[in-house]
């Protein structure tokens, strides 16, 4: 079956994008549409003393200016974090109040204060600037370590010391004991730099209120429109669920940042009701830097101990996670259950302990960004392993290999039970593809050109397909993390699949069609994937955490199982055969071993005419299913990066990047490779280029593309991408997920390569030319001093 599982089918969705016929939120215009702009705090921390809207209201074309107290007075609820994390002393996390429009205090630059509604974008912006806010400025703190220090400025009254939670996992005493008796201990201070997600399509929303129907419609740039509707209804009280339709049309990338329900969507819906106008808001890029949830921002100290044979005896990590000014939707889960649970890496480690303190600061809220916690874990363990190998004089790949988990299932000391994998196979494949054996010669050749060449590994494991609902519920999640699907076979035999997953670049319209094509022997052109509209799709948990394959497609498989059962019943009835003798192949439904058959569309027609179906059977051919995962899935792999450093300038070039991934079953290798390419690019971006920078006053110095270094084509290499897969036993297709691996695995490979080249393990991300040059000078001064 040329279009089935494993085929490199070209994407069905491409034609509209390459011809300019995509339909993104900002492309849509509603009747009677007005435009919103937000009045935002220019201060990182301040009390609002007074707001004067008279000058703004006097501008021709301004419809209304609405503020926080009125929003709260109308019963609009505070923005919440949907995952409760409990501190080690048993206390609940300290969630500070976050109103969509500030009422008394602002806590970061960009905090929304008022929504201005006007006839045009430019009038709205002009009027927003004409709103005069009087502030009493308050002291500011931007770093997590500083925010925890005695006497630091306090952000929220109910979070003394700015501490949101003080959480732990693993066993402290045995870990300390193991480290105390270790033959070798490697200890490092490790910072994971703050990133801005930067999907190329800025966030956008169009809210419409139909007064006659008491009904709202929201077009929005969302990765999970169903969750948006649930949260907007159940928690923010914007409208009851059946009176709110959320549509996420074409969405131009997300990377996590479009999971959350932001103040702007809430304010636009509320203002649409207040003003009677449809309201469009589209973020500009600087506004995106100031308001889209950031990622990462961990400061850690980590210790790993080995016995005399190089076997790991214990790992202890202390992490301070900067969550910004307010708790975003999944912000508590990222530095806890999505981070510390992966610290065991690919290794047998008997003793692990991790303490995480989550902290408020006067910065943009931090939440999941591609990888979400797992890149931070991978960076800790993989920098430790590489550095330890160098300290012990061992080959880094051999040190890893002797500690690999080799039998499955494997229960780590930090919750996760790895179900499958062959880490040695991935490492071998990557080493062969990278020609590690020839590295010494390449290094010598580079040296002859005055360049320092280095090679670094990263053997990552991550957890996807999040996750069994009962399990995440027991860990504090406020939602179940199943997925739903509906498979509708039309009377003419074509198929619509309605899925709760959302595609914003992942190519679901193609890959989801491929699994249906495979099952029923139909061409993908006869299969339409429908997603992103709460009026069409029954429900769904959306796309993040690389869950659309392992969870979303599993739901489709479950629905197809039901369709297949009914098809067989109908065919058996019509063809007067036993159900067990019916087979579906090549677009026909046949009685095995005979020439009796119905064409696929004939079964569809039979189901809908219902003239001749088994007694008691309901007409029609449409089935739905909810699939709840049985476990996380565990994609893993080995990445090998080679760099060349110019010692005079610190300028570093990634000259080779090899990936060997285990994603389980792959539906479309072309699309999977594309996901890996993009993930690696973001990982190299984090390692070498990207950094959100705040000054001490809480001003974001990197809030435009003039200042924040987005990776460009000439910053990046071609990637050599390979697969050595084991089947995931936990879901019907054997899939593990591929969306985040590249971003998770690549940063340590890059930094390990650069530190290898310069001979100094003390290097932080982003490894800019200045940082690399400085680290190189440190080594040289040390050598000179010796």
Q: Which residues are at the interface with another protein (CB under 8 A)?
A: 10-11, 13-24, 26-27, 29, 122, 198-202, 250-253, 255, 284-286, 504-507, 670-671, 673-674, 677-682, 704-706, 710-714, 716, 718-719, 742
- The count of other CB atoms within 10 Å of the CB of residue 523 is 13
* Smallest distance from another protein to CB 24, Å: 7
Query: Considering beta carbons, is residue 302 or 749 the nearer one to another protein?
Result: 749
- CB-wise, 263 or 679, nearer to another protein? 679
Are the C-beta atoms of residues 515 and 201 closer than 8 Å to each other? no
CA angle (361 as vertex; 356, 362 as ends), nearest 5? 165
**Closest CB to another protein among residues 126, 401:** 126
DSSP 408-423: SSEE-SSS-EE----H
- What letter would DSSP give residue 235? T
Q: How far is the CB of 652 from another protein (least distance, A)?
A: 16
CB of 761 to another protein, least distance (A): 27
CA-based diameter of the chain, in Å? 94
Q: How far is the CB of 191 from another protein (least distance, A)?
A: 23
d(CA 288, CA 92): 31
Residue 707, exposed/middle/buried by CB under 10 A (0-12, 13-18, 19+)?
middle
What's the N-to-C CA distance of the chain in angstroms?
67
CB 217 within 8 A of CB 229: no
Contact between 518 and 4 under an 8 Å Cβ cutoff? The reply is yes
Q: State how far the Cα of 537 lies from the Cα of 527, in Å rounded to an integer.
A: 16
Helix (H) or strand (E) holding 527: strand 527-530
CB of 285 to another protein, least distance (A): 4
Minimum CB separation from another protein for residue 63, in Å?
Answer: 18
Instruction: Give min distance, CB of 231 to another protein, in A.
Output: 24
Nearer to another protein, 16 or 242 (CB): 16
* Cis amide linkage into residue 467, ω under 30° from 0: yes
- CB-side neighbour CA atoms (13 Å) of 715: 18
Question: Residue 326 Cβ, how far from another protein at the closest point, in Å?
Answer: 25
Q: What is the closest distance, in whole angstroms, from the C-beta atom of residue 716 to another protein in the complex?
A: 6
In angstroms, give the least distance from the CB of 246 to another protein: 19
Q: At residue 679, what are phi and psi to the nearest 5 degrees? A: -65, -45
DSSP string, 35-77: EEEEEE-SSSSEEEEEEE-HHHHTSTTEEEEEEHHHHHHTTPP
The residue among 481 and 529 lying less far from another protein, judged by its C-beta, is 529
The nearest distance, CB 503 to another protein, in angstroms, is 9
Closest CB to another protein among residues 567, 654: 654
**Tokens 């003080």 sit at which residue?**
166
For another protein, the closer of residues 84 and 711 by Cβ is: 711
Starting at the earlier edge strand, list the strands of the sheet with 184-192.
163-170, 352-359, 312-322, 298-306, 184-192
Rounded to the nearest whole angstrom, what is the least distance from the CB of residue 783 to another protein in the complex?
Answer: 35
Length of the chain: 786
Question: What is each CA distance from 568 to 74, 561, 594, 624, 732, in whole angstroms?
Answer: 55, 11, 15, 17, 20
739 neighbors 748 (Cβ within 8 angstroms): no
Closest approach, Cβ 201 to another protein, in A, equals 4
DSSP one-letter string for 311-372: -EEEEEEEEEEE--SS--TTTTTTTTTTTGGGTTTTB--S-EEEEEEEE--SS--B---TTT
Q: Between residues 152 and 692, which has the closer beta carbon with respect to another protein?
A: 692
Nearer to another protein (CB atom), residue 27 or residue 432:
27
3-state secondary structure of 244: strand
How far is the C-alpha of 270 from the C-alpha of 576, rounded, in Å? 60
The three-class DSSP label of residue 734 is: coil
**Smallest gap from residue 648 Cβ to another protein (A):** 22
- DSSP state, 551? I
Residue 285 or 402: which CB sits closer to another protein?
285
Q: What angle do CA 102, 83, 249 make, to 5 degrees?
A: 70
Q: Least distance from C-beta 457 to another protein, angstroms?
A: 20
Give me 389's structure tokens. 């190998």
Return the number of other C-beta atoms located less than 10 Å from residue 42's C-beta.
13
Minimum distance, C-beta of residue 715 to another protein, in the bound complex (Å):
9
Of 208 and 682, CB closest to another protein: 682
Of 282 and 328, nearer to another protein (C-beta) is 282
Measured between alpha carbons, how far is 141 from 45 in angstroms, rounded to an integer? Answer: 9
Q: For residues 629 and 471, give the distance between their C-alpha atoms in angstroms, rounded to a whole number.
A: 10
Nearer Cβ to another protein, position 678 or 730?
678
User: Which class for 521: exposed (0-12), middle (13-18), buried (19 or more C-beta within 10 A)?
Assistant: middle
Give the shortest CB-730-to-another protein separation in angstroms: 27
Helix, strand, or coil here: 533?
A: strand
Choose between 201 and 386: whose C-beta lies nearer to another protein. Answer: 201
Nearer to another protein, 252 or 335 (CB): 252
Nearer to another protein, 543 or 665 (CB): 543
Nearer to another protein, 643 or 776 (CB): 643
User: Closer to another protein at the Cβ: 124 or 238?
Assistant: 124
Q: In sequence order, what DSSP letters do the residues of 272-300 get, joined into one string?
A: HHHHSSEEEEE--HHHHHHHS-BB--EEE
Least Å distance, CB 728 to another protein, is 24
């Amino acid at each position: 079956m040329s279009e089935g599982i494993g085929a490199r089918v070209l994407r069905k969705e491409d034609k509209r994008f390459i011809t300019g016929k995509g339909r993104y939120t900002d492309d849509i215009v509603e009747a009677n549409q007005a435009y919103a702009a937000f009045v935002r705090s220019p201060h990182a921390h301040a009390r609002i003393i007074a707001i004067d809207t008279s000058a703004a209201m006097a501008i021709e074309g301004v419809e209304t200016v609405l503020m926080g107290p009125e929003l709260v007075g109308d019963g609009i609820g505070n923005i919440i974090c949907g995952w409760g994390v409990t501190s080690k002393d048993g206390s609940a996390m300290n969630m500070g109040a976050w109103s969509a429009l500030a009422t008394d205090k602002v806590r970061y630059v960009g905090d929304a204060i008022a929504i201005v509604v006007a006839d045009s974008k430019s009038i709205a912006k002009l009027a927003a600037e004409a709103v005069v806010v009087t502030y009493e400025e308050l002291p500011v703190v931007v770093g997590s370590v500083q925010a925890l220090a005695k006497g630091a400025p306090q952000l929220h009254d109910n979070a003394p010391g700015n501490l949101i939670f003080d959480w732990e996992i693993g066993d402290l005493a045995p870990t300390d004991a193991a480290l105390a008796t270790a033959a070798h201990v490697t200890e490092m201070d490790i910072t994971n730099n703050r990133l801005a997600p930067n999907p190329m399509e800025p966030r956008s929303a169009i809210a419409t209120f139909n007064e006659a129907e008491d009904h709202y419609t929201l077009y929005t740039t969302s990765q999970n429109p169903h969750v948006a509707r649930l949260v907007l209804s159940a928690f923010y009280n914007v409208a009851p669920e059946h009176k709110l339709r959320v549509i996420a049309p074409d969405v131009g990338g997300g990377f996590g940042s479009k999971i959350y329900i932001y103040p702007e969507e809430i304010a636009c819906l509320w203002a649409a009701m207040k003003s009677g106008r449809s309201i469009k808001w589209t973020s500009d890029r600087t506004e995106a830097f100031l308001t889209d949830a950031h990622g990462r921002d961990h400061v850690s100290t980590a210790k790993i101990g080995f016995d005399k044979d190089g076997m790991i005896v214990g790992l202890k990590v202390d992490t301070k996670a900067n969550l910004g000014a307010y708790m975003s939707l999944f912000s508590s889960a990222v530095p806890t259950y999505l981070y510390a649970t992966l610290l065991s890496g690919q290794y047998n480690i008997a003793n692990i302990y991790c303490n995480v303190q989550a902290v408020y600061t006067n910065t943009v809220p931090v939440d999941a960004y591609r990888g979400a916690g797992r890149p931070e874990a991978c960076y800790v363990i993989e920098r430790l392993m590489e550095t330890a190998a160098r300290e012990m004089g061992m080959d880094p790949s051999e040190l890893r290999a002797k500690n690999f988990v080799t039998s499955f299932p494997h229960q780590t000391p930090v919750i996760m039970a790895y179900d499958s994998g062959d880490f040695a196979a991935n490492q071998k494949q990557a080493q062969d593809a990278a020609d590690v054996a020839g590295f010494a010669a390449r290094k010598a050749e580079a040296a002859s050109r005055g360049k320092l060449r280095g090679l670094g590994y990263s053997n990552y494991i991550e957890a996807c397909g999040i996750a069994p609902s009962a399990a995440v519920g027991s860990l504090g999640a406020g939602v179940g993390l199943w997925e739903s699907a509906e498979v509708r076979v039309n009377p003419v035999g074509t198929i619509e699949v309605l899925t709760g997953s959302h595609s914003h670049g992942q190519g679901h319209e193609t890959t989801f069609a491929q699994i249906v094509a495979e099952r029923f022997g139909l061409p993908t052109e006869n299969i339409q994937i429908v997603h992103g509209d709460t009026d069409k799709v029954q429900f769904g948990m959306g796309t993040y955490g690389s869950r659309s394959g392992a969870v979303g497609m599993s739901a489709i498989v479950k629905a197809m199982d039901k369709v297949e059962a009914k098809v067989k019943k109908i065919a058996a009835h019509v063809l007067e055969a036993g159900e067990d003798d019916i087979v579906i192949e090549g677009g026909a439904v046949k009685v095995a071993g005979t020439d009796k058959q119905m064409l696929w569309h004939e079964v569809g027609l039979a189901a809908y005419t219902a003239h001749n179906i088994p007694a008691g059977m309901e007409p029609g051919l449409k089935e739905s299913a909810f699939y709840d995962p049985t476990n996380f899935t565990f994609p893993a792999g080995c990445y090998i990066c080679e760099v060349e450093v110019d010692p005079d300038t610190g300028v570093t070039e990634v000259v080779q990047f090899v990936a060997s991934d285990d994603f389980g079953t792959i539906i479309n290798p072309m699309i999977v490779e594309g996901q890996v390419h993009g993930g690696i690019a973001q990982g190299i971006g984090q390692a070498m280029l990207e950094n959100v920078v705040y000054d001490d006053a809480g001003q974001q110095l990197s809030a435009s593309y003039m200042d924040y270094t987005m990776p460009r084509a000439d910053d990046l290499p071609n990637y050599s991408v390979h697969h050595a897969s084991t089947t995931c036993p936990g879901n019907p297709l054997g899939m593990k997920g591929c969306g985040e691996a590249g971003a998770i695995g690549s940063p340590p490979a890059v930094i390990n390569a650069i530190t290898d080249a310069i001979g100094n393990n003390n290097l932080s991300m982003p490894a800019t030319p200045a940082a690399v040059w400085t680290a190189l000078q440190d080594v040289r001064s040390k050598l000179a001093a010796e």
